[in-house]
Structure 1
Amino acid sequence: MGEISEKITQKNNNSCSQFPVLTNSAEYGIVYQKDFFDKNIAINTDNYYVVHTEDFVYNPRISKQAPYGPIRVNHLKTGVMSPLYYIFKIKDDFNIGFFEFLFIGNKWHKFMYQNGDSGARSDRYAIKDKVFNKLPIYIPQKIEEQKLIFEINHKINSLLYLQHRKMELENQTSKAIYNYLFDKNKPFYFKDNKTKKVFLKELGTTYSGLSGKNKTDFGHGKAKYITYLNVNKNTIANHNLLDLIEIDKKQNEVLNGDILFTISSETPEEVGLASLWPYDDTNIYLNSFCFGFRPNSKINNLWLAYELRSLKIRKNMYKLAQGISRYNLSKKSVLNLQVDVPSDAEQNFDSKFVKLINIQTKFLSNERNELLLLKKFLLQNLFI
């Protein structure tokens, strides 16, 4: 490192300087401190270092994303940064972009592990400047290869950004369509529509989740139970988010078409979230912080699951949550909720339409995950 870089030691000695204060974030890179914290944290910046565009900054603060602290390049205009950071400039003989992606990867972590120290503060990693400058870096001799490695990674990042924006727009569109389809005041699609208000208790019956269990009963056995997180996060339950438990005929078994509700949470916004179980597995139980609802044949189960996640139902569900530090819900109060039930034709139309939207959203998410895997592969294999 010491052979291809030089430490920046220029101090901001003018207290009237108009240079903005920058910070080095593991997730977002180098950003304006005011934007990151929504306010100015630094008061006196006289001894701060001046950081120019394309200077690199090592932040010794460790996190899950940066176990040895992040090293990021400054793409912003000239600013000032805390003297706690190590600031350096790569010499002109090399491609800056090559090093940007090198430090985003983890090839340099082994050296830090072997030569550094977590220090007196557990949230910072300590390594002396003269030791840091001994960090070995393998660089392609040809500048053209350095540029090519940078361009490949840069294009992957550009694709990820575009995919992220595409997902944001898709989610906004999906949310708008979803709220429109399940708005009781929407224009009707079918001439024979006969929407009517029905109490949930008229559409089915409830049952309880697991009872009489302790922590030793979980994690083994030939049966499975649906986790709280599965119900909380999914309108249609994830078949893979199941945990093991022993077969117990005294417990209520979850059947295909049942709708599951969260009954307890630390926030009222997460109480009464509904999730459909559309699978034919046997010996499936429900966690004890949820209860099940078994609809009768008069209703489209998929439509009902979407309806129960709609904005108008969620607003009514918030009001039913009781508690202070933890919020709970009674089955009776949920069963007394009224639902606007349209004709069978509209139930089928709405549920199929939303399902198609969700398939598209999942497809975009899978594309993004594949790009992330490709980026990880490149960071691990393009750098020695």
Structure 2
Amino acid sequence: MYLEKLKLRHFRNYHEQELEFSPHINILIGENAQGKTNLLEAIYVLAMARSHRTANDRELIEFEGKEGAFIEGRVQKHLGSVRLSLALTKQGKKARVNQLEQTRLSQYIGNLNVILFAPEDLALVKGSPAVRRRFVDMEFGQIDAAYLHELTKYRTILKNRNSYLKQLQQKKADDRIYLEVLTAQLVKAGAFILEKRCYFLAQLEQYAAKIQTQISQDKEQLKIEYKTSIHDQIQKLSRTEIEACYTQTFQKYVDKEIFQGTTLIGPHRDDVLFKVNGKNVQIYGSQGQKRTTALAVKLAEIDLMHDQTGEYPVLLLDDVLSELDGKRQTHLLKAIQDKVQTFLTTPALNDVAKKLIKEPKMFYIHKGQIETGDKTKTQIFYPHQK
């Protein structure tokens, strides 16, 4: 798949903009704080119905007192084109597919699959468990609508259960039967999520391990493990067995949960471990190994999504070339050339990129204004550059 057209109105620093893209590599070039990342963000929001930079949709609306922002795109797939539109207002959001409003966002997400790789994505390896859980949920949610739906349901049940545990803690309630009902609901949804996560991570590992081996010239072997408190070998259990483990563990923890007023086990507490040559790369890996692992996992998503959906995703690269050395830049650019539609932001192309990127479509961005064309446009916006 690829994004053919994009229309913006009152989004960030774009008052009104309409663009057509190459199905191959699109380079968004300009100095800092001009709107390159805002444009990338608009594509991400069109796909995911949320931003990767803020949880507050109001921040996406043009600051000059506008009531809302509007994003529209036309996506080309093997079976034809799909028109997506997303209206963001202070009252909420409305998502449409081919003019039909979607009652659930889980029905909307997945029509345009995107993979974002930004400098902060190195935190995928060295950051907190919450970062890795979010990565799993955002990426796998695009592939499997049922996973996304069950995740939304799980979060609702979890919120209700935590609220009731707080009431029990404060002696404002004493009905443990109701707690058991909420626990049973959470167990069912949690087991579904955990089983799906283990399946997708096993698939991801197959692709990522090959890429890690290639980049490291056969020096590094990558393993991805799912870490949960209910069982050491969770990947080997069926969903029914996972439900049984959850039930037993909740029974053991119930008094402690009431004392603390919160749910202590479940997918919202789990983690993903990346191991290189048998060692946790977060703790024992070098900076180079961490960068290679993050790159390998991101590139592996491309093939995983294609394998699961039959379509290649759109790749969004937000100023990542500056964070990678020549070897990793070369591997990245060779991997995406003629394979996936790519949007790459950069202040200027370096020698590696100039050598490896074939016939990109250039977009020159300055203060929310965009021009397309050849390299002579650089002189329009940045006359000091040669």
Which TM bucket (shorter chain)?
under 0.3
Normalising by structure 2, what TM-score? Answer: 0.21
- Structure number with higher helix proportion: 2
Normalising by structure 1, what TM-score? Answer: 0.21
Higher RCO structure (Cα 8 Å, ≥6 apart) = 2
Q: Answer with 1 or 2: which has the greater Rg.
A: 1
